Amino acid sequence: MLKNVSVVGAGTMGNGIAHVFAMHGHQVTLVDVSEQALEKALSTIEKNLDRMLSKGSITEADKAATLSSIQTSTSLAAGVGSADLVVEAATERVELKLKIFKTLDQHAPGHAILASNTSSISITKIASVTNRPNRVIGMHFMNPVPVMKLVEIINGYSTDPRVTEQIVQLSRDLSKVPVVVNDYPGFVANRILMPMINEAIETYFEGEAGVEEIDTVMKLGMAHPMGPLQLADFIGLDVCLSILQVLHDGYGRPKYAPCPLLVNMVQAGKLGVKSGEGFYVYTPGSKDLVVSPRLMR
Ligand code: NAD
């Protein structure tokens, strides 16, 4: 069993990944360069466990056991020293990931599998900076991790099929549904999702319909739980832009060119939920969905 799991990066995704592994009997070390991020992650995990407790889906003992299975570290080298599996969920920047994987390769035990939760960066490229490309794989969890069932498993060019099989089995053990795909830009999830989000932005940009109208058509007409513009805000407009750039660079096809409005919004710091404004404005404590006044027609 891959008992000891180190999760690198304690942000939106890292705290959820740590939560899920700890709840399923793994010893977790959560690593971040920021002490503040680690504290915030632990309090988010506790809040999410409390929500599960109040719904009756876990007991007080489950909550206590989960929390006691998570330790934290601000040192990457020390934090992965006894890992059987590392799941990297640090900021989506190629140079950063390459640097992290070089360090992981030096300090994680030789048998450890090194996985990345990247949304779009090539697993083959990440693997190429290590001396164990056959033990590097993509393990792409969805947000929010404790809730979403899918794990998109990405085989790098050199990933050993036995490693893929171990990660498939592990994902099932975490009560997730694994889907194995090959390593090409955007993988499957974002290759399909991001052009849809971009098209929704173009539809607004070209004046065909307003923000609410576009989201309502997709919610009520296509049974999407969230409209594409609201979903873009939830994912982060900077993240959407960077994935579209990866698709555009990787395939060289004009259909992946990001809408100029998306580029402008990111340049203006309007990143969606995390910055308080994107296609909608987000007021702490309010669940109302209010279109950004800048985008009202
Ligand atoms: P985030 O910005 O919320 O968190 C990133 C964390 O990484 C921060 O706490 C930061 O301090 C930490 N970090 C930066 N450099 C580090 C280093 N050298 N060592 C350790 N920690 C470091 O980002 P996120 O949204 O959680 O995304 C993390 C990864 O997950 C990215 O690769 C992203 O593409 C992917 N992802 C995100 C989503 C999503 O909806 N947000 C969904 C699927 C996958």
What does the pLDDT look like over 202-250, one tens digit per residue? 999 999 999 999 999 999 999 999 999 999 999 999 999 999 999 999 9
The CATH T-level fold of domain 4-182 is Rossmann fold (3.40.50)
Q: How many CB atoms lie within 10 A of CB 214?
A: 21
| 31 close to ligand 1 (CB < 6 Angstrom) | yes
Q: Does the pLDDT at position 287 exceed 90? A: no
**Catalytic residue positions?**
119, 140, 152, 190
Report the C-alpha gap between 66 and 21 in whole angstroms: 9
Region 26-38 average pLDDT: 98
Q: Does the pLDDT at position 297 exceed 80? A: no
Atom 32 of ligand 1, nearest CA residue: 118
List residues bridging with 115 in a β-sheet: 87, 137
Domain residue spans of the chain:
4-182, 190-291
Q: Does the pLDDT at position 93 exceed 80? A: yes
Tens digits of per-residue pLDDT, 64-81?
999 999 999 999 999 999
Tens digits of per-residue pLDDT, 100-148?
999 999 999 999 999 999 999 999 999 999 999 999 999 999 999 999 9
Region 262-288 average pLDDT: 95
Contact 8, 31 (CB under 8 A): yes
If you average pLDDT over every residue of the chain, what do you get?
97
Report the C-alpha gap between 114 and 132 in whole angstroms: 9
Report the C-alpha gap between 279 and 266 in whole angstroms: 11
User: Under 8 Å CB-to-CB from 185, ≥6 apart: which residues?
Assistant: 120, 122, 191, 246, 247, 249, 250, 251
Which ligand 1 atom minimizes the distance to the CA of 242?
Answer: 34
pLDDT-based confidence at residue 158 (cuts at 50, 70, 90): very high
**Per CATH, the architecture of 190-291 is what?**
Orthogonal Bundle (1.10)
Which ligand 1 atom minimizes the distance to the CA of 118?
Answer: 32
